[in-house]
Amino acid sequence: MIKQTLLAAAMAALLAGNVYAQEDTAAATDEAAASEEEAGPFTFSITGTFVTDYMWRGVTQSDHDAALQGSVDFSHESGFYAGVWASSVDFTPQDTLPEDEDGAKAEIDLYVGFNHDFSDQWNGDVQFIRYAYPGLNRDASTGQKLDFSYNEYIGKLTYAEFLTGTVAYSSDAFATGEDSLYLALGASHELPWGGVSVTGEFGHYHLSKLNDDGSNLNYNHYGLGLSRDFGPVSTALNWTRSDNDGRAFFGRAAHSTLFATVSISTDL
């Protein structure tokens, strides 16, 4: 069994969904809808992002260092979309011994999904995503090659572009052979001045039999943020924190964090 330090770091990254990957995907889908008449039924877009700390579900995926990210997305006017998203990662603390390094330097997410407006107020989105972590080392104690890659199924329901509920399920979270369930509620509201939006989120993550004693890990995370777009450039300043259970398992990786994001997107 992978040592808790490695697994916790890996999970942090794997927990990883995807928040930024999913945000980039949603942005690409929204852009496709806005330019539908000009671009025709198909839209291709690319996005580049710099983030001062890659946080995902309340846990850093970059050891609280900066990360570079990018995505290429395809969408169709029917609502179908697909893409690939990548980020630099670092799951092990700086004081980790060389023989205990997991070797993870990149996360590559492959996803397909369908987005549909049920009415002027309601939007739904379903997605299949594969989290992949190439180039991992072998476990120092067993000699087996580490594997953190896994699949996840995600559903979202959005009301009035204000409230978004998310449900995500995996039957093999972080390649442990155990299942996981993630529930989240997010909100976004544009303030009446300056084009600034205020955002908030609350998430609960259940991971079966992840603790060393075989018990389930359950933790909550929450956060607040401000965002503003400048043409094709999007900026955000966010704060996130995990509860005591999250910090007890992930340690420093789940501490309170303030981080900034700058991204630029363009249609091809």
Alpha-carbon gap, residue 158 to 164, rounded angstroms = 4
Structural domain containing residue 187: 4-267
Average pLDDT over residues 46-62: 98
Q: Which one-letter DSSP state was computed for residue 191? A: -
Higher-pLDDT residue of 38, 260: 260
Question: Between these two residues, 58 and 142, which has the higher pLDDT value?
Answer: 58
Distance of CA 156 to the CA centre of its chain: 14
Predicted pLDDT at 239 = 98
pTM of the model: 0.85
Q: Convert 4-18 into a string of H (helix), E (strand) and C (coil).
A: HHHHHHHHHHHCCCC
Helical ranges in the chain per DSSP H: 4-14, 19-34, 36-39, 244-250
Chain centroid to Cα 47, Å, comes to 15
Cβ atoms within 10 Å of 161's Cβ, excluding its own: 12
**Which residue from 216, 210, 237 is spatially nearest to 14, judged by alpha carbons?**
210
- pLDDT band (50, 70, 90) for residue 201: very high
Rounded to 5°, the CA angle 188-81-173 comes to 75
Residue 232 contacts by C-beta under 8 Å, 6 or more apart in sequence? 264, 265, 266
Rounded CA gap, 169 and 81, in Å? 20
The number of distinct structural domains making up the chain is 1
CATH number at residue 155: 2.40.160.40
Q: How far apart are the first and last CA of the chain?
A: 45
Per-residue pLDDT band at 96 (split at 50, 70, 90): confident
Task: Please provide the average confidence, as pLDDT, over all residues in the chain.
Answer: 89
What confidence tier does 21 reach under pLDDT thresholds 50, 70, 90? very low
How far is 180 from 142, CA to CA, in rounded Å? 25
Token pair listed for 197: 């939006």
Interacting residues of 214 by C-beta distance below 8 A, sequence separation 6+: none
Amino acid at 217: L
pLDDT of residue 13: 42
The β-bridge partners of 43 are: 75
With contact defined as beta carbons under 8 Å apart, do 26 and 118 qualify?
Answer: no
pLDDT tens for residues 102-139?
Answer: 999 999 999 999 999 999 999 999 999 999 999 999 98
* 210, 232 contact by CB (below 8 A): no
Per-residue pLDDT at 260 exceeds 60: yes
- Do residues 249 and 206 lie in contact, with contact meaning Cβ atoms separated by under 8 Å? no
Res 6: pLDDT: 40
Residue range 217-221: average pLDDT? 98
Q: What's the confidence (pLDDT) of residue 10?
A: 43
